[in-house]
Structure 1
Amino acid sequence: MGSPLGVLFANFYMGAVEEKVFAENPDIKPTVYARYIDDIFINANTEEEVLHLIENFKKHSCLNYTHELEEENKLPFLDVMVHRSSSCFSTISQLLCNNGYPQQEIDEVIRRRMDNYIRENPPEQQTSCITLYYKNTMSSAYKEDEKAVKKIIHNNVSPINTDTKLQVIIYYKTRKTASLIMKNSCLPPTNSLQEVNVVYQHTCTVGDCSHLNSRYIGFTSTTLSKRITAHLQDGAIRRHYMNEHGIILKRHHMKSNTTILVKENNKRRLKMMEAVHIYSEKPTINIQQQPESSLPSQRQPHGAVAGCSLATSDETRSAL
């Protein structure tokens, strides 16, 4: 999807595939079917129903589909952990700020949602007080500014109903105030699986590997949960479990044996920290070339063969 229209084309293609599949086989459409571009969330009674749906999708497209089943009534979908109860689904999302969304965009979406809800669900009884909010810029003369603003409003604005009071609330939002709020937040700490920009380590504890200390080290600039999902589909860790132990890698293997080594928001330093840990720890599951731009002392001469590189090119690259 190098083109700016790549997401739009992918969405059109999947929509066309869905239309053909469900037009020919309306009975196979799940009771819950949600899709974001090419990521699909469904509610099915058995795994056979999921596989049957995948086969029908393959008949009408050139794509290869993979699937992941819930474990303990939980399934990650688009960085959101979906919990299933007897009657509904509920979601637990990480802080949107930690996932790279601009604070201004978050506030705007919340404001629009709240305005729509208020318009559709007006209060039954009107309050006897009208509150006006004014956003001001913090300065050394903020008290004088407040007095002037309140005087202007009270001299020029009055409710139609004489029994209604007018209240003015002036608030300030600066970078310094936002930083203090984040530092003193009473919210629980972010789940380690929702951390971003980290170097992580996975240790295999199956069979003889529990004594051999077989490890894999990588980095991700997205959430650790999303990177684990990628490992479940393909990569060095999945091949290690299959070739060495004859088992299919499951999410609980990754969750219980994956730890965060370093958190670094600077992307260049993040890659360097990964290279340093791989060089010093020498994890046996890793199969990759020595990084060319991270450790100058370890760069290979021009034309020299350094091994097999199976690293992907996206931003979540770590040696597959």
Structure 2
Amino acid sequence: MGSPLGVLFAQAYMCHVENSVLSSINPSPKMYLRYVDDIFVDVDGDEQLENLKRALEENSCLRFTIEKSVENKIPFLDVWVDGSDGTFTTDVYRKPSDSGRCLNGMSECPSKYKKSVVRAYVARAFKICSSWSLLHQELNRIKQILTNNGFPLKDIDNEIKTKMDLVNTTALDESSKFNNINLYYQNTMSSGYKKDEKVLKEIIKKNCTPTKEGDKLNLIIYYRNPRTSSLIMKNNLAAQKDKLKQSNVVYKYTCNFNKDGALCTDEYIGYTTQTLSQRLTYHMQNGAIKSHMTKSHKNNISREHLNTNTIIIARNGNTTKLKCMEAVMIRNYMPLINIQQNMCGTLELYGSRVAGWKG
């Protein structure tokens, strides 16, 4: 339990058991369905059911319990199977202990996680409910559960409408003719996760193209919680030695690009509340440094060049003070790359961040 391979091991073991039991037992079940170790069977009577149970236990180290249908009705996982009228109907099943709680719609987490909660509820209803009346009943129950957990009713209705339109659409989706290539990226949850996602998607869009025309590239970002060690105060108050892992810093980049025997000494000063490594990754995609390298030297900027020629010149955990420190450093150093970029009108005047001072 808890291991990523747990389900795989369980599946392999149950397949081994079934190969021994189902090939030897007579008569065999009319219907035999299994999910991991939960089995749904249709047999002729209690005696055949007991024989099957005994055979499964004799050929394994497992112990099985039996739950029989009542009036031809029985739950199997999250499906309520009803065969009381001579035909089978299915509906969503919830245990009596289910309190209707889920991820709260007002919690601080990526918005796509909240959307996936609504989508999962709606998709399950459409998949399991075998009639429109049962589906309508389940969708009303979903609305009540999700609104109780802080989800806007508008978001729920939009997801239901999207799913309904998809069901009613008979034309083939053109994108289904091509492959969807998924790229997975693990990130650490922070208040600036939306900005991170935007930059990562821009990086993939600019630098990655499927080899087959028509294939679609999807970046799927999932999150992990910060490590406990990053949430507590450490006894060692020494500054982090690796500059690329430091955050809340003011940094200075010096071009140092040698062209035609002349060394370029143009500088750029900026601040970041993220790690310096992340900030330099953004500079590789767009901004003043990349623009300077392209226009002045007709060359592409490399990560090794950025790492080597960037130093940290100030630190402060307060974002407002950090911005002020950046503006003061720009005033003192007068970095040409900042000034050139301001002249192009793509950045605000660097002195405007400090009240009462004019550049």
Structures share a fold, TM > 0.5? Answer: no
Give the number of the structure with larger relative contact order, counting CA–CA contacts within 8 Å between residues 6 or more apart. Answer: 1
- What is the TM-score of this pair, normalised by structure 1? 0.43
